């Protein structure tokens, strides 16, 4: 069913404006809600009180300290500290164990990655060994002689000749830097996770963080709408490839293990959406995921925008959750020549040994660089149509009028750059110019670059930016490249960028490219503004850019809260906006309560396993409506017929 626009929209030929009413997640910089992760990327530019608040909240998140009921803090040794003591004692630890850094997974350490090497043994004499009966192959080679020793053990004699074996070994990790979640933060410990892949545990946290930050009562919001007026579009670019997902499944035979009943279903790339519907939101509305490599977040966002603009849905949660820091995925990208491996980093700076500080500088967008830095992240947005946002008193963190997607056309290779990104960015800027005016685009907009830190990207993406800037008369377009801090989270990359953009709108500062010692000679920088230190900037709009592997290009236009309010006043009238601000007070108070709790390291994660389960017989149906227990309103079964009648 199409959920109709308000009458004045139809009369004026306008669409609903998709606005952002909630955000949540976590990446290497910290928690998304309350702009915690954003503040970590501009830490030195913040006032002292806000710096201390950020460090304190991160220390709690990283389980370095626990807040007591009287407001004091206790560390792991039981010592009681005040807030100032916590900041003084743990500041450097927080700085060293957030953002890009040396990989902390022991598999990437000095002992090396567990592996096997195929070998052929030439036996001059018979080989005799003992083994447990259950460890014997199902199909024994016909030349093997097996003798029972007892109920559990057997003796095997292998005659002289050739024997194929796998010899266990440890392989040194060739890539040792990544954008990991803050040390000590374990999303799987916050709820009853049972063999959940890391990406799905991150999904549960990210969506819960989004709902908490929104300040909205989800049950009340859901019950005021047709259940089919809600949608969820969430996924990732690769699927779940750790041991609890498809990684463990695919390794089971070769590694001598056993597949579990959960590895196959939990590995699917759309599983974040499935988890949200089943365990967080209880939604029966539209669902799905679009996989578009590094542009996946924007692809899913586009689905949500189209639903809201058309009136098909009124509330949509969109997002991604990627956890690709596994030896196999890292090795796959390394063999492509895409990652900044240790040897390349040494060569880049003429070093013989890499230190922790060198790993922290691994990602260098638009500078002399040698490859991207892999990362994990989960990011979610809660979207509404603007009429419902005003009606419910929701926060409005910004608006996303559109996301443009174009392919590259004919390509030299599947990984080579192409022309699609010129189209997506140019369309986004044209829309911003039409909505906000040329002055806003020229002087109060900035770019959130894909900025991967590969030599190819720095040239091709900067040329896209340069051509569009010249076309629109932009002389010094500021460029942010958030991957310098948090790395490249694959399908979630644009989510990291968008979360950062919302932070810029709130704080009036664009993060600098901290690893940019100098702009590389092959960067088209004449009309672009690159900077290392945070830049004070009052933005009306930003352009979230993604250049995905295989030609998956996307650019999203995001409008600031202030500019959105001006649009709302024009669309609905100033009185409607004033009434909304009054209703919003309760929402802001609820959001602040959640943020204060989260800053103390206590997270209210929603995970409702087995609650309210319905299988069909509980429903009641008429020709026009389906009634679902637990929902105040029925699902309308009246649908539009755009094709006419015989």
The pLDDT score that the predictor gives to residue 275 is: 96
The pLDDT score that the predictor gives to residue 114 is: 87
Q: What is the arithmetic mean of pLDDT over 346-367?
A: 97
Q: In terms of domains, do 95 and 152 share one? A: no
Q: In terms of domains, do 137 and 272 share one? A: no
Quick: pLDDT tens for 217-228.
999 999 999 999
Mean pLDDT for all residues in the chain: 95
pLDDT bin (cut points 50, 70, 90) of residue 194 is confident
Closest of 361, 343, 363, 362 to residue 353, by C-alpha: 343
Q: What residues contact 283, with CB distance under 8 A and at least 6 apart?
A: 222, 227, 230, 231, 232, 276, 277
The pLDDT score that the predictor gives to residue 109 is: 81
Quick: pLDDT tens for 580-596.
999 999 999 999 999 99
The pLDDT score that the predictor gives to residue 254 is: 79
DSSP state of 292: B
Query: Looking at the domain assignment, is residue 15 inside a domain?
Result: no
pLDDT bin (cut points 50, 70, 90) of residue 12 is low
Q: Give rounded-to-5 percent helix, strand, coil for the chain.
A: 40, 20, 40
- How far is CA 545 from each of CA 290, 308, 422, 425, 462, rounded to the nearest angstrom? 17, 22, 11, 7, 11
Containing structural domain, residue 125: 108-171
Q: Let me know how many helices (H) and strands (E) the chain has, helices first.
A: 21, 27
Pick the residue with more confidence: 208 or 642?
208
Quick: pLDDT tens for 507-540.
999 999 999 999 999 999 999 999 999 999 999 9
- Give the DSSP letter string of 474-509: -SSEEEE-THHHH-B-GGGHHHHHHHHHHHHHHHSE
Q: Return the number of other C-beta atoms located less than 10 Å from residue 521's C-beta.
A: 8
pLDDT bin (cut points 50, 70, 90) of residue 107 is confident
Residues assigned a catalytic role: 294, 450, 488
Q: What is the arithmetic mean of pLDDT over 55-75?
A: 95
- pLDDT score of 353 more than 90: yes
Q: What is the arithmetic mean of pLDDT over 136-151?
A: 92
Quick: pLDDT tens for 431-474.
999 999 999 999 999 999 999 999 999 999 999 999 999 999 99
Q: In terms of domains, do 131 and 250 share one? A: no
Q: In terms of domains, do 163 and 181 share one? A: no
Q: In terms of domains, do 201 and 138 share one? A: no
The pLDDT score that the predictor gives to residue 1 is: 47
The pLDDT score that the predictor gives to residue 123 is: 95
Q: In terms of domains, do 144 and 266 share one? A: no
- pLDDT score of 10 more than 70: no
Residue 344: left (phi > 0), alpha (psi -120 to 50), or beta? Answer: alpha
Per-residue three-class SS string for 571-615: HHCHHHHHHHHHHHHHHHHHHHHHHHHHHCCCCCCCCCCCCCCCC
Q: Return the number of other C-beta atoms located less than 10 Å from residue 53's C-beta.
A: 18
Residues, the chain: 646
Q: In terms of domains, do 494 and 471 share one? A: yes
The pLDDT score that the predictor gives to residue 368 is: 97
- pLDDT score of 307 more than 50: yes
In terms of DSSP bridges, do strands 127-132 and 153-158 run parallel, antiparallel, or are they unpaired?
A: antiparallel
- pLDDT score of 281 more than 90: yes
Query: Looking at the domain assignment, is residue 630 inside a domain?
Result: no
Domain boundary among 127, 147, 171: 171
Q: Return the number of other C-beta atoms located less than 10 Å from residue 522's C-beta.
A: 15
Q: What is the pTM of this model?
A: 0.94
Q: What are phi and psi of 278, to 5 degrees?
A: -80, -30
Structural domains of the chain, count? 3
pLDDT bin (cut points 50, 70, 90) of residue 13 is low
CA gap 317, 588 in Å, rounded: 20
Q: Return the number of other C-beta atoms located less than 10 Å from residue 456's C-beta.
A: 14
pLDDT bin (cut points 50, 70, 90) of residue 255 is confident
Quick: pLDDT tens for 394-432.
999 999 999 999 999 998 888 888 999 999 999 999 999
Query: Looking at the domain assignment, is residue 435 inside a domain?
Result: yes
Per-residue three-class SS string for 513-573: CCCCCCCCCCCCCCCEECCCCCEECCCCEEEEEEEECCCEEEEEEEECHHHHHHHHHHHHC
Q: In terms of domains, do 136 and 47 share one? A: no
Which residue in the block uniquely carries the two structure tokens 């009966």? 133
């Amino acid at each position: 069913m199409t959920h109709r626009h308000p009458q004045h929209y139809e009369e004026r030929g306008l669409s609903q404006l998709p606005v952002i009413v909630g955000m949540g997640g976590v990446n290497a910089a910290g928690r998304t809600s309350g702009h915690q992760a954003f503040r970590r990327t501009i830490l030195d530019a913040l006032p002292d009180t806000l710096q201390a608040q950020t460090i304190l909240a991160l220390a709690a998140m990283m389980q370095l300290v626990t807040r007591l009921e009287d407001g004091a803090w206790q560390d792991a040794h039981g010592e009681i500290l005040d807030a100032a003591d916590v900041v003084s004692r743990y500041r450097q630890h927080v700085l060293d164990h957030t953002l890009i850094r040396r990989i902390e997974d022991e598999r990437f350490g000095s002992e090396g990655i567990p592996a096997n090497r195929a070998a052929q043994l030439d036996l001059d004499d018979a080989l005799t060994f003992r083994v447990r009966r259950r460890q014997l192959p199902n199909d024994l080679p016909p030349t093997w002689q097996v003798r029972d020793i007892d109920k559990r053990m057997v003796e095997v004699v292998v005659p002289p000749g050739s024997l194929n074996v796998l010899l266990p070994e440890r392989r040194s990790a060739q890539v040792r830097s990544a954008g990991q979640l803050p040390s000590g933060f374990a999303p799987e410990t916050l709820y009853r996770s049972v063999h959940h892949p890391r990406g799905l545990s991150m999904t549960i946290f990210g969506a819960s963080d989004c709902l908490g930050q929104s300040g909205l009562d989800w049950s009340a919001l859901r019950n005021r709408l047709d259940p089919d007026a809600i949608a969820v579009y969430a996924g990732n670019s690769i699927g779940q490839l750790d041991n609890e997902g498809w990684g463990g499944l695919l390794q089971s035979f070769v590694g001598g293990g056993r597949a579990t009943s959960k590895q196959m279903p939990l590995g699917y790339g759309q599983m974040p959406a499935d988890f949200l519907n089943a365990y967080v939101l209880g939604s029966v509305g539209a669902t799905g995921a679009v996989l578009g490599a590094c542009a996946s977040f924007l692809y899913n966002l586009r689905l949500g925008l189209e639903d809201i603009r058309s009136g098909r849905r009124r509330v949509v949660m969109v997002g991604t959750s990627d956890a690709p820091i596994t030896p196999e995925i890292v090795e796959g990208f390394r063999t492509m020549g895409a990652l900044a491996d240790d040897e390349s980093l040494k060569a880049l700076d003429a070093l013989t040994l890499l230190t922790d500080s060198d790993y922290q500088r691994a990602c260098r967008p638009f500078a002399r660089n040698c490859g991207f830095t892999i990362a994990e992240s989960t990011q979610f947005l809660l979207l509404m149509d603007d009429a419902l946002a005003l009606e419910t008193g929701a926060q409005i963190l910004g608006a996303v009028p559109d996301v443009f997607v174009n392919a590259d056309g004919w390509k030299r290779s599947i990984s080579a750059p192409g022309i699609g990104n010129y189209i997506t960015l140019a369309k986004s800027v044209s829309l911003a110019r039409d909505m906000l005016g040329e002055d806003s685009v020229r002087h109060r907009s900035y770019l959130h670059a894909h900025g991967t830190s590969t030599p190819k990207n720095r040239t091709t993406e900067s040329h896209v930016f340069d051509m569009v800037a010249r076309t629109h008369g932009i002389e010094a377009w500021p460029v942010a490249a958030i991957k310098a801090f948090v790395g490249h989270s694959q399908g979630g990359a644009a989510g990291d960028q968008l979360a950062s953009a919302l932070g810029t709108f709130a704080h009036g500062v664009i993060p600098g490219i901290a690893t940019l010692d100098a702009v590389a000679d092959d960067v088209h920088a004449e009309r672009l503004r690159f900077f290392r230190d945070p830049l004070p900037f009052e933005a009306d709009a930003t352009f979230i850019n993604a250049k995905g592997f295989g030609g998956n290009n996307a650019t999203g236009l995001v409008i600031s809260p202030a500019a959105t309010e001006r649009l709302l006043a024009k669309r609905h009238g100033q009185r409607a906006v004033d009434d909304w601000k009054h209703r919003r007070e309760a929402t802001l108070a609820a959001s602040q309560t959640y943020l204060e709790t989260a800053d103390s390291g206590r997270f209210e994660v929603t995970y409702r396993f087995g609650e309210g389960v319905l299988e069909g017989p509980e429903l009641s149906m008429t020709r026009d409506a389906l009634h679902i227990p637990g929902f105040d309103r029925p699902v309308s079964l009246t649908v539009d017929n755009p094709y006419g009648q015989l």
